Structure 1
Amino acid sequence: MVMISYKNLKRYRDIAHILIKYGFSFIVEKLNIEGVAYRIPITNPPEEIKAMSTGEKIRRVFEELGPTYVKLGQILSTRKDLLDQDIIDELSKLRDSVEEFSTYTAREIFIEELGLSVDDVFAEFNNEPMAAASIGQVYEAVLKSGEQVIVKIQRPNIEETIKSDLEILRTIVKGLKDLKKDIDIDLGQIIEEFQIQLLRELDYNFEAINAIKFKQMFKDSEMVYIPQVYSQFTTRRVLVMEKIIGVKLSDIDKINKMGWDTKAISEIGVKSFFKQVFEHGFFHADPHPGNIFVLNNRCISYIDFGMIGIIDKKTLNILNEVALAVIDKNVDKIMYLMMEIDAIDTEDEIAGIRQDLLYLIHYYYDVPLEKISIGDILNEIFRFFRTYKVTMPSQLATLAKTVITLEGTARELNPEFSVSSMGKEYIRYYYVNKFSPERIFLNSKNSMEEILLDLKTIPRQLRVILRNLEKNKVKINIEDIEVPRLETRIADLATQLSLSLVLASIVVGSSLIIASPNIEKNVWIKYMAIIGFSISFIIGILLVIKIFRTQYKKK
C-alpha cells in the first residue's frame, strides 16, 4: 500500500478517476493508494475509449491531468529510445492548452517581482495576452526608451502546483517499482530528469541566461540574430525580451510571397545548428517552425530558449568516431564505443546486437542519399535500442530529437532537402574543428593538463594506499587459489627477503670495517672484513640459486 500526504488526497483521487476512465485501472490497483484505491469503483471504459490506441489513451490522460503532466508528456515525446513510435506520435501532439489568467493578476505579479508597476517600466502595455502557456502568459509592450519587447509573466501559484504534482509523481513511481520489470524503463530517473528541467523552466532567469549565451555565440553572425534580454527587468517570474519582427518559419506561404529563398534559409538553419553543437556543445533543443523567425532572405532568429541541450566534448568525440566507424562499416568499433559511454552493460546479447547493427548499416549504406530520411534512420536506431535495452545518455537523446525536428523543419522549407545536405555540413564542421590549428593547440593543452593532473594525483593516491596499508585497512579477495601452494610461495618470499637483509647487513658492515682508520693497526680487523665479504659472496650465490629454483618451479 502506497502511503500518501493527505494534503494531496483530492489530487490522488482525480488521478485515479482519470486513469480508470481510460482503462488504466491496473495501475490504480497496483498502487493501492490508502484512502483512494478502495473508494473508487473499477469500471470498464466506454467503447469509444476502448477503440483508442494505447498512445492516444496516454495522451488523453496527460491532457486531462493538466500542465505538469502535459510537460511530462512533451519531454517523453523526445525519448524515442524508451517508447514505441505510436506512443511518441501521440505524445508529440500535446500542446499547452490552458485558460488565460487575468491581466490584473499579471500586473500584480510584476509589481511583486520588480517593485515597479507596469506603467513605471513601459510606455505601452497590451492588456490582451498574445499567448497563454502552462507556465506563463506573454504580452506585447514598448519600453519607455522605445524598444518593442515581449513580457513573460508566470502564472499565479504555478510553482506550488507543479511541486505538489512532482511529489505525487515520485510517490506513484515508488508504488510502481515492480512495473519496471515489465516495461524495463527507469521511471525514477525519468522523473528526476523531468523535475530538473521543469523546475528550471519555473525560473525565467535560466531562459534569460540561455538567451544571453546564444547572443554571445552569434554576435558576429549575419545569418542568425538572437533577441536581446533586458536583465534589469528580468526576475524568477518575469522575463522581458526584445520583440522579433519577422515571419514565423511555419508561415511558408508568406515566406514565398516575400520572394525569399527557402532553400538558403534551410541551409542557414543547418549551419547554425552545427555551429552550436561542434563549437559550443550548447544548442537550441526545440527548433520547430514556431520557434524560428525569418528576418530576411539571409537571416533567421531563434526565440524561446527554455529548452536547450548540452553535449560534452568527450561524448561529441565518441559520436564523431561512431559516424566514421559507420562509414567504414566497422561494427566492432561501434560496439567498443557504445561500451565506452556505458550504453551496453551486458555481455548476454552482444552477438545479437552485433548482427543487428551489421544489418542496419548494410541496409542503409547503399541507399541513395536523396532517398534517406534522417528521421527514419534515427527511428530505426531507437527501435534497435529498445529491442536490446541499450541505455542512451539523455544528452544524446536530446540531440537526436533535435536533429529529427530540424530535418522536419528543413523539409518544410525545402522539399528536396536530403541527408546529404546535412552530411556535407557535418563533415565540414568535423574536419574544420578537428584539424584547425586552434583546435589542435586546445587538444594538446587539454592533454598536457590531464597529464599534469595525473602527476599531481598519483602521489596522493599512493599516500592513501600506503596509509591504508599501515592501518591494515586493505582487504584482498582471494578466489580459486590453492592454499598449500600459496603458503609455499609466501615461505619462499620470506626466505629470499631474509637472505637479502642478511646479505645487505654483512656488506654494509664489512664496508664500514674496510673504511675504518684502525684497519692498518690490527690485522684481525682486516681479516674480519675479508671474511665478511666472503660470507656475503656465498649468501649472494645462494640467493641467486634460490631465485632461479623458484622461477623454474613456477614454470
Structure 2
Amino acid sequence: MLAGTLLALRDHARVRAIGAVIARYGMGDVMHRLGLSELLPGSKTAVPSEMPERSAPERLRRALEELGPTFIKLGQILATRNDLLPVEWTQELEKLQGHAAPVPWESIRSELESALGQTVEQAFARFDDQVLASASMAQVYRACLQDGTEVVVKVQRPGLEPLIQADLRLLKQIARLVQQQGLLPEYRPYDIVRALADAIADELDFTREAANTVAVRENMEPFKDIVVPRVHMEWTSPTVMVQDFVPGVSPIKEAELLAIGADRPLLARRGALAFLHMVLEDGLFHADPHPGNMMALPGNKVAFIDFGLVGHVTERRRQQLLVLLRAIVDGQADGVATTLLDWSGAEDFDWTRLEESAQRYVARQSSGLLSISAALLDFMALARENHLILPPDLALLFKAFITADGVLKRLDPQFDVVEVAQPVIMGLMRKQYSPRRVYADLQRSLLESRQLAMDAPQLLRLLMHRVRQGKISARIQVEGMPRLASSLEKAATRLAIAIVTAAFVLILGPVLVTRGPSWLGLTIFSWAGLLAALLGLVLVLWGFWRRR
C-alpha cells in the first residue's frame, strides 16, 4: 500500500530513478532483504556483470555519488557511525567528498546576481568565472572586492531544493516503513534521516555557515597563530557567502610545505591545541578538519576554513568526555563502561559482558603507545560489539577527532596528541573542581532546589486533584512476575492454614490440656502440643538457614 501511495505522488519520477541506480550498482538484494524492493520500481533488475567484482561498500559509495547531494550527505553521516558500521564500510564512505561536475557559469551568474541584488561587475572589482571548487551543493570562485580585498565566493547550485525535498520525503517514508516492520532497530533509521534533514538544512542556508565561522573566529582570537577567515556579511545570504581568501597549503603537499619553510611538529602542536580548545572549552568545533579544511600558512600558522559542518558539545558532554579520556589514559575499565552506558541510555544490556569488553579495551590501549584515533575507533567498536548506540553528536565528535589526528600525523608522523592533550585535560579538571567552580555549582543547585520547593505545592495540588478524580494510573513491569505471583499464592495459602490452625488451638487448647491420660504430670495432648511447637521452631530455623 505504501509503495502504491508513493508512486502516486509527485515524486514518481525520482522514485523510479533511485530504483534504477540501486539496481545498476547491485544493491537490489539489500532492498529485498529489507522488504523494500516493491517500494522502488526497477530495483530488482539484474546486476551488471562488472559490479559483483567490486566490494559492497564501494558499490554503495558509487550509488550514493550518482544519486546526488542528499544521498552523498547521508553517506557522509553514516561514515561517522563506527558504532553502527564496520570499519571497511565507514572508510569507503569517507571518500564521499561531494565533488560534482560544475554547473555552467551563466546559471551560477544568474543565481549570484539574484542574491546580491546587483550585477557581478557592480559588486566586485574582479571576478574569476573559472570554478575554484565544485561540490554537490555549491561552487566556489575567486574574486576581489571593490576595496581590493581578495575573497572567495561560494554560490549554491541552482535547482537543489526541490530535488532534496523529494529525496527527504522518500527517505522518511523508507525509514518509517523499516521501523514499522521491526527491521534494523539498532540503527534507528528514522533518527538518522532526521539528522540528515537537519544537516542539509544547515548546508542549504549559508547564513548558518557564516554565523559558525564568525563564532569560531571570535573564539580563536587568543590564538595568534590560528587563522579563521573573515566573513563579509554584507554580501552573504542563504545562497551566497563571501569570505577572505586564505592562501593555505594542504598538510599532504610536501613540496609546498617545504617552500613556505613549515616547521611541521610546531604546526601539528598548534593545530591540536586549537582543536582541543574548540571541543573542550568552546563547545563549538570544526567537524570536518580534513587536509583541505585545515591548512598551513607561512609563519607556521594554522588555518581552519569551511565551517559548513560544525559540532556542538554541551558542558555536560565536555565533562563526560574528560572523564572518558582520563579513564582511557589511566586504564580504568569501570569508567569506560559507565561512560558508554551513560551515553547510550541503554536499558537492556549485559553488564558482565560489557565489563569484560571494557577490560579488554583498556588492556589494548595500555599495551603500547596510545593513539587517540585507534582508541576512539576501538571505543566505537566496543559499543557496536555490545549493541550500544552512541548519540549522533558524539559520533560526529569522535569522527572529527580521528580526522584531525590523521592530518596532524601527516604533518608530523611522531606527533603524540595524548602528550599534548594530557596537560589540557588535567588543567580543565582542576578548573572544574576549583573552589570558585564548586561554589558556582553549589549556588546553581541551591537555586534549582529553591525553584523545586516553590513548584512542589502546585505539583502536590495537581496530584491530589488527579487522585480525587481517579485519573492516576501506573504501569509497572516486574521481571519474573509469574514466579512472584506463584510465591505469593503459596505464602497466602500457608498463612490461611496457619490462621485456621491457630484458631482451633486457641479454642480447643484449654479443654484438651486437661483431658486424657497423663505422663510425668502432663496430659497426652499437652505433650503433643509441646512436640508440635518444637517441630515448628526447627522448621522456622531451617528455613532461615536455607536462605543464607
TM-score normalised to structure 1 length: 0.80
CA contact (8 A) 2:260 2:297 kept: no
Q: Give the alignment partner of residue 148 of structure 1, picking from 150, 153, 159.
A: 150
Q: Give the alignment partner of residue 45 of structure 1, picking from 42, 48, 58.
A: 48
2: CA distance, partners of 1:66 / 1:437: 54
Q: How do 1:385-400 and structure 2 match up within 5 A?
A: 385-400=383-398
2:349 is the alignment partner of 1:351: no
2: CA distance, partners of 1:426 / 1:364: 20
After superposition, what is the alpha-carbon deviation per residue over 1:417-459, rounded to whole angstroms, capped at 9, x for unaligned? Answer: 1243344244344335424566455434433443333333333
Percent identity between the aligned chains? 27
Q: Give the alignment partner of residue 305 of structure 1, picking from 292, 304, 307.
A: 307
Q: Where in structure 2 are there 5+ consecutive unaligned residues?
A: 493-548
After superposition, what is the alpha-carbon deviation per residue over 1:290-329, rounded to whole angstroms, capped at 9, x for unaligned? Answer: 1023223342121100000111111221222233344554
2:523 maps to: none
Say if 1:52 and 1:280 are closer, same or farther in 2 by CA, change over 3 A: same
Instruction: Name the amino acid aligned to 1:363.
Output: R
Q: Give the alignment partner of residue 467 of structure 1, picking from 434, 452, 465.
A: 465
Q: Where in structure 1 are there 5+ consecutive unaligned residues?
A: 486-555
2:16 is the alignment partner of 1:13: yes
Say if 1:368 and 1:328 are closer, same or farther in 2 by CA, change over 3 A: closer
Q: What SS does structure 2 have at the residue aligned with 1:321?
A: helix
CA contact (8 A) 1:201 1:207 kept: yes
2: CA distance, partners of 1:156 / 1:375: 38
Q: How do 1:470-549 and structure 2 match up within 5 A?
A: 470-475=468-473
Structure 1 residue 397: Cα displacement: 0.7
CA contact (8 A) 2:172 2:190 kept: yes
CA contact (8 A) 1:278 1:429 kept: no
2: CA distance, partners of 1:244 / 1:298: 14
1:31 maps to: 36
After superposition, what is the alpha-carbon deviation per residue over 1:370-405, rounded to whole angstroms, capped at 9, x for unaligned? Answer: xx3322222222222112111101111111101101
Q: What SS does structure 2 have at the residue aligned with 1:301?
A: strand
2: CA distance, partners of 1:354 / 1:91: 31
Say if 1:6 and 1:63 are closer, same or farther in 2 by CA, change over 3 A: same
Say if 1:170 and 1:113 are closer, same or farther in 2 by CA, change over 3 A: same
CA contact (8 A) 1:166 1:195 kept: yes
Q: Give the alignment partner of residue 132 of structure 1, picking from 112, 126, 134.
A: 134
Instruction: Name the amino acid aligned to 1:368.
Output: G
Q: How do 1:185-200 and structure 2 match up within 5 A?
A: 185-200=187-202
2: CA distance, partners of 1:217 / 1:28: 46
Structure 1 residue 194: Cα displacement: 0.7
Q: Give the alignment partner of residue 377 of structure 2, picking from 360, 376, 379.
A: 379
TM-score normalised to structure 2 length: 0.81
Instruction: Name the amino acid aligned to 1:94.
Output: L
Say if 1:377 and 1:40 are closer, same or farther in 2 by CA, change over 3 A: closer
Structure 1 residue 223: Cα displacement: 1.7
1:86 maps to: 88
Instruction: Name the amino acid aligned to 2:357.
Output: D
Say if 1:437 and 1:276 are closer, same or farther in 2 by CA, change over 3 A: farther
Say if 1:476 and 1:338 are closer, same or farther in 2 by CA, change over 3 A: same
Q: How do 1:228-239 and structure 2 match up within 5 A?
A: 228-239=230-241
Q: What SS does structure 2 have at the residue aligned with 1:193?
A: helix
Say if 1:470 and 1:153 are closer, same or farther in 2 by CA, change over 3 A: same
1: CA distance, partners of 2:445 / 2:298: 44
Greater Cα shift, 222-231 or 444-453:
444-453
Structure 1 residue 152: Cα displacement: 0.9
Q: What SS does structure 2 have at the residue aligned with 1:42?
A: coil
1:506 maps to: none
Greater Cα shift, 58-67 or 446-455:
446-455
2: CA distance, partners of 1:451 / 1:252: 59
2:455 is the alignment partner of 1:457: yes
Q: Give the alignment partner of residue 282 of structure 2, picking from 277, 280, 283.
A: 280
1: CA distance, partners of 2:307 / 2:125: 26
Greater Cα shift, 7-16 or 144-153:
7-16
1:509 maps to: none
Say if 1:420 and 1:314 are closer, same or farther in 2 by CA, change over 3 A: closer
CA contact (8 A) 1:96 1:133 kept: yes
Q: What SS does structure 1 have at the residue aligned with 2:10?
A: helix
1:58 maps to: 60
Structure 1 residue 368: Cα displacement: 3.3
CA contact (8 A) 1:149 1:240 kept: yes
1:543 maps to: none
Say if 1:368 and 1:129 are closer, same or farther in 2 by CA, change over 3 A: same
1: CA distance, partners of 2:335 / 2:246: 46
1: CA distance, partners of 2:184 / 2:279: 36
How many residues are matched? Answer: 479
